[in-house]
Structure 1
Amino acid sequence: MDVWLRALTFSAGYNTSLVTLGAMLLGASAGMIGSFILLRKRSLVSDAISHATLPGLMLAFIVMAALFDNGRWLPGLMIGAGLSAAFGLWGVQNISERTRLGEDAAIGAVLSTLFGLGVVLITAIQAMNTGGQAGLTDYLVGSTAGMLSGEAQLIGVCALVLLIAIFMLRRQFLLVCFDAEYATTNGIPVQRIDTLMLMLLLAVTVIGLKVTGLILIVALTIIPPVTGRFWTDRPLQMVAIAAICGVLAGYLGVTLSSVRTGLPTGPLIVLSTFALFALSLLISPRRGIIAMLVAHYRFKTRVHLRQGLLAMARREAIYDTLTLRVLRRHDFIRRDHVPTPAGLAAARDAEHEEQLWSLYRSLYPDEAAHLDHLGLEPISDCLPPDMMMLLELRLHSPLRSAS
């Protein structure tokens, strides 16, 4: 526990603190660009990009090992991964645009082919007579145990640059995500913006290889935006919440991995991301499970209260247990089910409301169909005063009373 507390307070060592900051910046970048990709409905593209980095990594290692006898140089590996991922992205776009196959089929084809090629290259590298190949599989699930301070600084700088770029272009991204045609009429080059979003996603994927690995980096670009969607309907707030979730996931994942030697950083970051998602799924006031259960119970209670009052007004017997319990809770009936004076007054008001709603539906059926009242809201809260006056006059007119 003391080790974790020292890591949480950035007092566990220079390298641990540097990696933690880099992972936090990476999480923020992934959450922000992932939000735009999610709004653009292209989240699976990140999966194809991440898996497409593997053959580039392996080829870069082979080339650097052959030329410089140092295949583990991180910038060279990132360049190879980036070129390979760009090729995979180009393949997905061309297959989906120039054939009858959908984007999902193109993603499946590119993902499986390039990842299979990468696995073949890993096997070939393990048979090579060169050093450094033993740790290449760490790029699959991430590893920070052997990360040098220079590598952590490179990741941090790249993540910070990406963060600034995403922040500056957020409005253009949002306009393209929600209405590409309107963006075109406003002079925004939609194709270029789409390409730029995907290139930023590619960059996040590449710089996240050392932290979370190519398999798990996709979780950082999908789960935080989905988590943010639980808390707000506003896109910019969703982007901010996704960035915060990415920061917290990187912070918790790296610090937890420092507690004991051998704990994998990437999986712990992803598990931290999922923990935030599960917590949001449970307690979110908008779409959380608890909020939905409470809203359902309140709606059910209102329905039974309304039906109970209408039954009292029409002198009908009430047998439903929940309806009786709700009426007793509001002191509208006694324990022997006899209506109280307050209950009789509420029943008359409910019956009057029902008559007004019925008259409004008969006079204005089209307008009534667009009101989401379900007979539970007071009609005076849904209609303007002049309409209420008209309905009251029509309801109490002698001609209607005679009919």
Structure 2
Amino acid sequence: MTDALLQALLFQAGYNAALVSLGAALLGLAAGAVGAFTTLRRRALTSDAMAHATLPGIGIAFLLMTAAGGDGRSLPILLVGAGLSAVLGLVLLQRLTDTTRLTEDTATGAILSSFYGAGVVLLTVIQNLSIGRPAGLEGFLLGSTAGMLRADALLIAGGGAVILGLLALLRRPLAMTAFDPAHARLMGVNTRAADMALLLLTLACVLLGLRVVGLILIVALLITPALTARLWSNRIGVVALLAGAIGAVAGHVGAALSFALPDLPTGPAIVLITFTAFLASVLLAPGRGVIARALARVRLARGLRKGGARA
């Protein structure tokens, strides 16, 4: 197991394993960096609803492909269906918050549960219809790299690189909008366009992550590295870089662990690694960590006692 893990970590476990590790690392890098802006803008729940709203689109895209004579397993078309379904969910979410008295979190819960339930029902129907090749569709729930093809890994890696490039171009308006939308508008930033760009980047991360970590866990890959990085810095640029690095390491190590332990799913392994990094940061981060705060309280108490003794 140790030798297999070391080989996977050093990209020496074969071409396919190296490709999957690279794709997972680039996905983690992109998701972590985008998540830094998503959490700062307080859109974590929106990204969760977006992820769950992809499931009906996957089922509908599969049915359309099989109706056209295919086997329904084309990942790009499945992702297009997932994306359209997620956009529909976002539109309905916006309409609910604009035209009713529902708060955003309540409307998000309604969209999340409704779309997810519809998707599960649709996938169950597909399994019973015995058409096409539905085996593996359930992998979009928790992720599945075992059946990933070379073209799938290249799509994920290329998509992650494009997301990073767009994020680098848009980082200034995104940061200004996240920190202070009113001031950003005074400075000439189109905050509505910036928010839309952030939603689209988040959606892109969600779609790419469906194959690796699944729709249930992709939100953890978007949020946990960002929360971890926030414990180490207050500067958005540093937080984005740190979050991306944590996500990249988690993606690579999680894929390597999945290769060394074939029964270990890649998605949960990646999420557990990011959570481990979060727990370690909660304890060890300077200034905000539990240990640092405890030491600060001890120093303060000593200072107060010394001041009282002098008095």
Deviation at 1:226, TM superposition (A): 0.3
Q: Say if 2:20 is the partner of 1:19.
A: yes
Q: Say if 2:179 is the partner of 1:152.
A: no
Q: Say if 2:117 is the partner of 1:116.
A: yes
Q: Say if 2:231 is the partner of 1:230.
A: yes
| Partner in structure 1 of residue 289 of structure 2 | 288
Match for 1:185: what amino acid? L
Match for 2:14: what amino acid? G
- 2: CA distance between counterparts of 1:139 and 1:279? 29
Structure with the bigger RCO (C-alpha within 8 Å, sep 6+) is 2
Deviation at 1:62, TM superposition (A): 1.0
Larger radius of gyration: 1
| Partner in structure 2 of residue 128 of structure 1 | 129
| Partner in structure 2 of residue 102 of structure 1 | 103
Match for 1:190: what amino acid? T
Please state whether the residue corresponding to 1:286 is helix, strand or coil.
Answer: coil
| Partner in structure 2 of residue 193 of structure 1 | 194
- 1: CA distance between counterparts of 2:203 and 2:98? 20
Counting only pairs closer than 5 Å after superposition, residues 157-176 of structure 1 correspond to structure 2 as 157-176=158-177
Deviation at 1:67, TM superposition (A): 1.0
Please state whether the residue corresponding to 2:46 is helix, strand or coil.
Answer: helix
Match for 2:202: what amino acid? L
| Partner in structure 2 of residue 61 of structure 1 | 62
Report if aligned partners of 1:31, 1:239 keep a CA contact under 8 Å in 2. Answer: yes
Q: Say if 2:218 is the partner of 1:210.
A: no
1:4-40 CA-to-partner distances (Å, cap 9, x unmatched) read 0000100001111111111111111111111111111
- 1: CA distance between counterparts of 2:224 and 2:146? 25
Deviation at 1:213, TM superposition (A): 0.3
Please state whether the residue corresponding to 1:169 is helix, strand or coil.
Answer: helix
Deviation at 1:84, TM superposition (A): 0.5
| Partner in structure 2 of residue 45 of structure 1 | 46
Deviation at 1:184, TM superposition (A): 1.4
Deviation at 1:134, TM superposition (A): 2.3
- 1: CA distance between counterparts of 2:136 and 2:103? 37
| Partner in structure 2 of residue 267 of structure 1 | 268
Runs of 4+ in 1 over 2 A off after TM superposition: none
- 1: CA distance between counterparts of 2:40 and 2:26? 22
Structure 1: tracts of 5 or more residues without a match: 311-403
Match for 2:123: what amino acid? I
Q: Count the aligned residue pairs.
A: 310
- 2: CA distance between counterparts of 1:96 and 1:31? 28
Match for 1:226: what amino acid? L
Deviation at 1:98, TM superposition (A): 2.4
- 2: CA distance between counterparts of 1:79 and 1:131? 18
- 2: CA distance between counterparts of 1:75 and 1:153? 11
Please state whether the residue corresponding to 2:214 is helix, strand or coil.
Answer: coil
Counting only pairs closer than 5 Å after superposition, residues 355-394 of structure 1 correspond to structure 2 as none
Match for 2:170: what amino acid? L
Match for 2:104: what amino acid? E
- 2: CA distance between counterparts of 1:189 and 1:309? 58
Match for 2:253: what amino acid? L
- 2: CA distance between counterparts of 1:31 and 1:45? 16
Report if aligned partners of 1:143, 1:212 keep a CA contact under 8 Å in 2. Answer: yes
- 1: CA distance between counterparts of 2:132 and 2:300? 67
Report if aligned partners of 1:54, 1:118 keep a CA contact under 8 Å in 2. Answer: yes
1:64-112 CA-to-partner distances (Å, cap 9, x unmatched) read 1121331111001000000001111111122112222111011001001
Structure 2: tracts of 5 or more residues without a match: none
Match for 1:30: what amino acid? A
Give the structure-2-normalised TM-score. Answer: 0.98
Deviation at 1:129, TM superposition (A): 2.1
Please state whether the residue corresponding to 1:130 is helix, strand or coil.
Answer: coil
Deviation at 1:236, TM superposition (A): 1.1
Report if aligned partners of 1:232, 1:286 keep a CA contact under 8 Å in 2. Answer: no
- 2: CA distance between counterparts of 1:257 and 1:130? 30
| Partner in structure 2 of residue 347 of structure 1 | none
| Partner in structure 2 of residue 313 of structure 1 | none
Please state whether the residue corresponding to 2:68 is helix, strand or coil.
Answer: helix
Match for 2:38: what amino acid? I
Match for 1:260: what amino acid? L
Match for 2:148: what amino acid? M
Match for 2:106: what amino acid? A
Match for 1:258: what amino acid? F
- 1: CA distance between counterparts of 2:41 and 2:163? 19
1:107-148 CA-to-partner distances (Å, cap 9, x unmatched) read 001001100100110110011122421211111000101111
- 2: CA distance between counterparts of 1:231 and 1:186? 29
Deviation at 1:234, TM superposition (A): 1.1
| Partner in structure 2 of residue 299 of structure 1 | 300
- 2: CA distance between counterparts of 1:135 and 1:240? 34
Give the structure-1-normalised TM-score. Answer: 0.76
